[in-house]
Amino acid sequence: MDVISLLSRWTHIGTAIVLVGGTIFLRFVLAPAAAQLPDAEHQKLKELVMNTWKKFVHAGIGLFLASGFYNYLLVQAPNRKEFKLYHPLMGIKMMLAFGIFFIASALVGRSKSFEGMRKNAKLWQLVMIILAAIIVGISGYLKIAVPIAAATQLGLS
How many domains does the chain divide into?
A: 1
The Cβ of residue 98 has, within 10 Å, a number of other Cβ atoms equal to 13
Query: At 148, is the pLDDT very low, low, confident or very high (cuts 50, 70, 90)?
Result: low
Domain range spanning residue 68?
3-153
Q: How far apart are CA 38 and CA 66, in angstroms?
A: 41
138 exposure class (CB count in 10 Å sphere: 0-12, 13-18, 19+): middle
Tens digit of pLDDT for each residue in 76-127?
Answer: 877 777 778 888 999 999 999 999 999 999 999 999 999 999 999 999 999 9
